[in-house]
Chains A and B, each alone.
Chain A
C-alpha cells in the first residue's frame, strides 16, 4: 500500500487498481471547522483536476479535485452525518471517495510523503 499526495493537499492510498482519496491534516487545519461535505455520486467518471467534492467550513466552501482520472466506486457516507471527522481524522476515517484508477501512469506525477512534507514546510 502506497500513500501519495497532491500539491492541492489531497492524499491517495493506492491498493491494487483502487485509490482512496481524502484531504490532508494540513488542509483541514487550514480550512478550520468542517460543517458540510458534498461527495460525488458512485459511478461518476472523473477526469483528473475535475471538481469532485466540496468541503465547507463555517467560513467558506472549497472544492476537492480528482487527483487522477477514474470512476467513483465508493463514497464515505459517514461524512454526511459527521463532517467534523475531517478535522479529527483527516488521514484516516475521513476519507472522501474511492476511484477505480484509469491510468496508473498519472500516479507518477504525485508526491511521496517526504516530498509532501517538504511542500508544506
Chain B
C-alpha cells in the first residue's frame, strides 16, 4: 500500500495532451493513463467501430533484437528458443503474434514480432516489459544485441477511417496489408508502422520518437473522423474482438493450447515440423497439440442483460454442483448492445452452444459458449 502510494506514476510522452483533452486518468501498469475522455467509454467504442479512434499505448515495451552476426535470420532463430512461433518464416516487412513460454508451458507474455529486414522489432505488454527484457538478455545476449526503445511512443489508429486519416501523412500506408510492418515516414517523422491493432478493426500501430509524438498525434486528431480513445474502450473493443488480455485471459498457468491459441503456433514448430520444439515447455505444449488439454478458453454470451465480469465462477448446473471454470474477462459489448465474456471451461464443455451458468451476486445466470470474435473483424488482408 505505502510502497504503491510513494511510487510516482510514470507518464507517456502524450500525458499533457491527455490532460488538455479532458481525459480521466487512472493508474495502469505503473503509468498514469487515460481511461476515457469526455465522450465516455460507450461513445468512444462506437466511434472506433464507425470512424477512427486514436489510442496512446506508449506504456507498452518496444525492443530491437539484432543478431551479432548481422543476419536477421540468426536473430529469428535465437528468438525461436523462447517462443513457439515460426519467427524465421516472418518475411521482411511482416509481423506475427507470439508468446514467451515458461518451462511448464505457461505464458510469460504475449507480443508482436516484426521483421524489419536487418533486425526484429518486438512490442510487449507494459506490465511485463522489464521481465521480458531481462528474459531476452538472460537467454539471447551471447548471440544478440537487445535494445529497449524507451525513447519511442506508440500510438494505435483504429477503425474504418484509420487508413484515410493516416494516408494524409503517409500515402504509402494504403498499400499495406494486415500485419505488414516496417519503417515509414509519417508527417516527415521517422516512424515504424504496422497494419494491426487490438480492436478487431482495420488500423495501424505507429511507433514514433517520443519528442515528436505530440506533434503527430495533434496532426492526426485535427480531423473530425479521429477521436482520442481511452483504455476503457480499448478493453471493450478487444473483448468484442475475442482478443486475449495478458494477465487475465492468458498467464503463466495457461498454455497456448488451453488458451485456444493453436492458430498462432505454426506447423514448423509442432511435432514433425522442421524446427519442432526447442522452446520452454515444448514437451507439454506439443503433447497437448496431439492429445488435447483438459480445459479451454471460450467465448461466453450471457443470456440476460447483466454483465458477467472477471472472476465469476462457472457451473454446469443452474442450482447445484461443483465449479467447472471461471470468467477471465467480461463486461458489456457496446457494438453488440449486450454483455460478453471469456473464460475457461472443461474441453468437453467448450463447444459453441453449450449452456453454462455464472454465479453473480448469489444467483446463477445462464450463458452460452459462443464463437469468437463476437464482432466480425475487418482486417485488410
Contacts and interface: CB of A to CB of B under 8 A. Distances in A.
Contact of B331 (A54, A59, A80, A83): A59
A77 interface: no
A58 B230 CA distance: 13
A58 B41 contact: yes
A59 B232 contact: yes
A38 interface: yes
B40 A36 contact: no
Contact of B36 (A32, A35, A36, A60): A32
Nearest to B332: A35
A61 interface: yes
Interface residues of A, number: 14
Interface string A30-66: 0011011010000000000000001011111100000
Highest count of chain B CB atoms <10 Å: which of A59, A61, A83: A59
Contact of A32 (B40, B305, B307): B40
A59 B41 contact: yes
A61 B332 CA distance: 11
A26 to B, nearest CB: 14
A32 B38 CA distance: 10
A38 B307 contact: no
Contacts of A60: 309
Highest count of chain B CB atoms <10 Å: which of A33, A54, A83: A33
B361 A54 contact: yes
B25 to A, nearest CB: 14
- The 6 tightest CB contacts between A and B, nearest first, are A33-B42, A35-B332, A58-B41, A58-B332, A32-B40, A59-B232
10 contacts: A32-B232, A33-B41, A33-B334, A35-B305, A54-B361, A56-B332, A57-B41, A58-B41, A58-B331, A61-B309
Interface of B: 35-36, 40-43, 45, 232-233, 236, 305-307, 309, 331-332, 334, 339, 361
Interface of A: 32-33, 35-36, 38, 54, 56-61, 80, 83
Given A58-B232, A59-B35, A83-B305, 18 more contacts: A32-B232, A33-B40, A33-B43, A35-B42, A35-B339, A36-B305, A36-B306, A36-B307, A36-B332, A56-B307, A58-B41, A58-B42, A58-B45, A58-B332, A58-B334, A60-B309, A61-B307, A80-B305
